[in-house]
Each structure stands twice: as structure tokens, then as C-alpha cells.
Amino acid sequence: MSDASEAPAVEADGLSKSFDGQLAVDQLHLAVAPGEVFGLVGPDGAGKTTVLRMLSGALPPTAGTAKVLGFDVAAEAHRVHRAIGYLPQRFSLYQELTVEENLRFRARVYDLAGRALGDRLESLLNLTQLGRFRHRLAGALSGGMKQKLALAAALLPAPNVLLLDEPTTGVDPASRGDFWETLLGLAEKGTTVLAATAYMDEAERCRRVGLLYQGRLLVCGSPDEVRRQAGLSLLLVSCQPLLHGRSILQEALGVRWVEVFGDRLHVALGLGGTAEAVQESLERAGGRVTRLQPIEPTLEDVFFEFVRSRRETET
């Protein structure tokens, strides 16, 4: 459990990275407490991987500083490297080695051997429920199992900080759920987890989330805090025909934006917008409204709103 008086496990101060003069990460300030689960979300190219790579000590920052477990990521990169667990965005283990061979091979980096290694392997195979598959080639594992193997490899040094780069992308929902249960269990025992994710249900499970957009952190807080901060007034609307309804509402006064979610619309009200006015606009245009009710915004709605506001201030 974390405590406000404890030093952060991960701390970034003005952390920046540019590639060929282009800023990929722009003055990131962040403090993640020991045992906290922090979710980093943001569209493709937002800078998530670049942040995680800098925090892992693998990529030197262009400006600013960051400390992980008290070690400076630039000056003490090798110490950071050995102290943390890092799960990269792309599967980085050997497809032609078995589960167990992969773990044994990776363990050499950490000078783990003998009894200590044997015990660690058993506990990691147990934790990730890969024991039954220990002799299976990594290349023959399902996507979800591959990611569990990658997690086991990241946990070999018994790290106090885990950096995970979209660890469950392409994994089915049940396995994603399993994976997150494991992460939350680790956090409960004190491991700090910083995970980039594209899934809003996963972001929802984090103690805090940060939205990265074009290298900048647009908002950061608990899921409820960022929801409040967005101040969205949102309606759930079912109407026929759906896409016609969307076009009508996109042009309607008092409507800020409209997004399709399955067979429904999420309609964000703008200044002066009301549910009655939305219903009237749809009906006037020949739409048949079967449902119209205020709802709590999802994190997806909230992030959409923050990105949209940012774009508006840019234009």
C-alpha cells in the first residue's frame, strides 16, 4: 500500500524526448507511488512507448530527468535496468524455445541460478498459470499465454517496479481479465505497476490514469477524478436510423459531439443543450427515438473530450 509520505517509485520531471527535432515526449511530470497501479493511455504515436523506454533506462532523455526506485534513468541506467521489470510492446522472447527454456535463458541476465532460480521459476509458472505449458514452444502459445510468459520473464528479477507496454493488446477479454488480476495482486504486495493500455476497461482498473496526446499529459488522476474534470453532460440515445441520427445531431445546436457505440449514440451536450432539444431534433428529421437518457461518461468518452478540447485550442 502506498503512503503520501513515501518517496515515489517512479518520478519524472520535465522528461522530454525528441527524434530528429520532433518532440515525441514533451515535458512529462509524473509521480507514481509505491504499490500504485498507473495506466498510461493515448492514441497511436502519443509517446507511451517512448515514456516507458526512457523510464526503463533504455532510451536517454533529451531533456528533463526521471528517477525509478531512486535511480536516475540517465546516469544510473544500468541500475534501473536491473531493478525493474519491463514488458515490451512486441513479443521479445524466443519462439523456438520452450516456456521454461525462455525463462532460464533470460534468468542469466540477472545472474539467477541453482536453487534460487528453480524456486523463482516455480513461483512464476504458478503465478502465471503456465506450469502445464512449461515444455511448450513459446511460438506455439496462444496470444494470452505469450503475454503471461512475457510477464513471467519481466518478473524474474523480482522487481519493485513493473513497466508494461500494452501487455494485453490482441488478447481475448477473459485472458485480459486474468492478466489484470495478476497485476493487481502484485500491486497489493507492493509492486508499482505502470502500464500503457489501449483498453478503457483496463484503464478503469488503475488507481490513476494519465492521458498522453502528442507527447503531452493532458489529464491525470483517478478514473473518477478525470471523469469529474471533463465535466461532460452525456446522453445515451437509441434511434432509427442510427447513422442518420448521428448526422442530424452533429449539426444540432447544443450538441458538442456524437459518437457511435454499437447500436447507440453517446451525445455530449454543449452550452444550452438539453435532452428535450435532442429528442426534438431527431424526431423533426424523421428519426424514431427508442431510448434517450443521461448516463455517466465512460473513460473513453472522457478522453475523447480531452483530445477534442486540445484540438480546439490548437486550431
- Out of Mg ion, ligand ATP, none, what residue 42 binds, judged by CB under 5 to 8 A for its kind, is ligand ATP
Q: Which is nearer to ligand ATP, 49 or 128 (CB)?
A: 49
- Out of ligand ATP, Mg ion, none, what residue 2 binds, judged by CB under 5 to 8 A for its kind, is none
- SS3 assignment, position 257: strand
Q: Are strands 63-68 and 37-41 parallel, antiparallel or unpaired?
A: unpaired
Report in angstroms how near the CB of residue 260 gets to Mg ion at its nearest: 26
Q: Which is nearer to Mg ion, 90 or 115 (CB)?
A: 90
- Out of ligand ATP, Mg ion, none, what residue 169 binds, judged by CB under 5 to 8 A for its kind, is none
Does 197 sit near Mg ion (CB under 5 A)? no
Report in angstroms how near the CB of residue 164 gets to ligand ATP at its nearest: 12
Rg, Å, the chain Cα set: 23
**Cβ density class 13-35: b for 16+ within 10 Å, e for less:** eebbbeeeeebbbbebebbbbbb
Q: Which is nearer to ligand ATP, 17 or 106 (CB)?
A: 17
Show the site string, 62-101: x = touches Mg ion by CB under 5 A, - = not: ---------------------------x------------
- Out of ligand ATP, Mg ion, none, what residue 161 binds, judged by CB under 5 to 8 A for its kind, is none
Q: Are strands 192-196 and 37-41 parallel, antiparallel or unpaired?
A: parallel
For 203, residues 6+ apart whose C-beta sits below 8 A from its C-beta are: 39, 41, 197, 209, 223, 299
Q: Which of 26, 28, 35, 49 binds Mg ion (CB under 5 A)?
A: 49
Report in angstroms how near the CB of residue 88 gets to ligand ATP at its nearest: 11
Q: Which is nearer to Mg ion, 62 or 89 (CB)?
A: 89
**Total residues at interface with Mg ion (CB under 5 A):** 3
Report in angstroms how near the CB of residue 198 gets to ligand ATP at its nearest: 7
Give residues in contact with ligand ATP (CB under 6 A): 19, 24, 42, 44-50, 89
Report in angstroms how near the CB of residue 118 gets to Mg ion at its nearest: 35
Q: Which is nearer to ligand ATP, 43 or 131 (CB)?
A: 43
Ramachandran angles phi, psi of 288, nearest 5°: -105, 115
- How far apart are the C-alpha atoms of 64 and 86, rounded to whole Å? 22
Q: In what order do the strands lie in the sheet with 22-32?
A: 22-32, 10-19, 63-68, 71-72
Task: Specify whether the CB–CB gap between 184 and 1 falls below 8 A.
Answer: no
Q: Which is nearer to Mg ion, 164 or 237 (CB)?
A: 164
Q: Which is nearer to Mg ion, 89 or 233 (CB)?
A: 89
- What cell does 57 get? 533506462
Ramachandran angles phi, psi of 157, nearest 5°: -80, 10
For 314, residues 6+ apart whose C-beta sits below 8 A from its C-beta are: none
- What is the binding site for Mg ion (CB under 5 A)? 48-49, 89
